Amino acid sequence: MKKNKASDFLKLLDTFITTYLPCSVGASPNTVKSYKYAFRLLIEFMYKEKGTEADKITFDKLDYKILTDFFSWIESVRGCSASTKNQRLSAIASFSAYAQNRDFAAASVFRNSVNRIPVKKTQHKHRAIFSRQEVTILLALPDENRETGLRDKILLSLMYASGARSQEICDLTVGNLQFHQKGATLNIKGKGRKSRRIGIPKACVTLLKHYIEYRKIIDRPERHIFSSQTHEQMTVSCIEGIYKKYTTIAQKENPSMFTAGSYPPHSMRHSTASHMLEAGIPLVVIKNFLGHASLQSTQIYAEISQNTVDRHLKKWNEKWFPSNIVERKTSQAINRIPEFLDCKTEIYTK
């Protein structure tokens, strides 16, 4: 009987990961990978801490106490942050709803237990943003006389002009780009496989067209626009390396600027949105340009813009108001992880 329950648990989890998420939900490969990892951790915890092998896990074993212990374990032993813990909880909660809808009797206790786990409060995440002057400096750093330098300049320029995510840039092919008299249009496939069309300015188009012609791929619609030195399609980690390289140089050459510390590639997307808002472009237009699912996601840039205003006001106050005014002081290896949870396993969608 226990064997059947274990098989039911793994069978539902298998279908959830390999079919439901990519086909029914339209989840991105990165989202599926994140969900896989959440369950790899759960299986690792059950084996190491509770002595239960993967094929012996049943829904009724995943009660409130076990799940509470699991989330405490990933924070204390694995060192997961509060936001990462919330991501793991979201993945497991999604599966619990899926499982209950398909086997209510078996999964109801599991579902109810997951619902009792609270989402942990997280600190407001600081978003690094380039000023317009910093963007100008950054785009001037790559050496156009070198092939990789030319690529990096075009990549940085296109990410600022389009506000695209790193993965969206990696996925761009020549066929996704349409040139016309006033510039060019990009067909971008974003999160959840949602597509959007955006225009990019002529200055960036000129650089991009020159780069594609230089690579001799303008008549090859299937080719990716950006490649690494080892792969035809660039990876997100490669883009991360490019940003780290040039922001490090920029910080050394301009010690009074680039003060946010770390600038991941997403900083350019934040910068584009913030600069658009400062230019007076309505939030709803920025929402469609960035491919946000709701206006609430775009609203954060209104707060960012206010932070920019506050920063300038602070500098003005420090420069023009007396500085001698004294303010009053205030007081082990996991056992038999199912193959479908292997992050390297291909997901076949029919």
Count of domains observed in the chain: 2
User: pLDDT 10s digit of each residue in the chain, 350 long?
Assistant: 444 444 588 899 999 999 999 888 888 788 899 999 999 999 999 999 999 999 899 998 999 999 999 999 999 998 888 888 999 999 999 999 999 999 888 899 899 999 999 988 766 556 788 888 999 999 999 998 899 999 999 999 999 988 888 999 999 999 998 888 777 888 888 776 677 888 888 888 888 888 999 999 989 999 999 998 888 999 999 999 999 999 999 999 998 888 877 888 989 988 888 888 887 888 788 888 887 766 666 666 666 555 555 555 565 555 555 555 444 444 455 567 787 777 765 555 44
Asked if 188 contacts 291 with a C-beta cutoff of 8 angstroms, the reply is yes
Range of the domain at 15: 2-123
Note the pLDDT of residue 331. 47
Q: Are residues 56 and 187 in the same domain?
A: no
Residues 192 and 89 in one domain: no
What was the pLDDT predicted at 350? 46
CA dihedral of residues 100, 103, 106, 107 (deg, nearest 10): -10
The reply to whether 80 and 142 lie within a common domain is no
- Asked if 166 and 266 count as a contact pair (C-beta separation under 8 A), the reply is yes
User: 71 and 47, same structural domain?
Assistant: yes
Which residue's structure tokens are 């539902």?
Answer: 12
pTM of the model: 0.61
CA 120: distance to chain centroid? Answer: 20
Residue 59 CB coordination number (10 Å): 23
Q: Is residue 348 one of the residues assigned to a domain?
A: no
**Same domain for 112 and 152?**
no
pLDDT given for residue 221 in this prediction? 92
Token duo for residue 294:
């709701």
- Whether residues 272 and 168 fall in one domain: yes
Calpha distance 222→173 (Å, rounded): 6
Residue 66 has a pLDDT of 95
User: Beta-carbon neighbour count of residue 158 at 10 Å?
Assistant: 23
Has residue 327 been placed in a domain? Answer: no
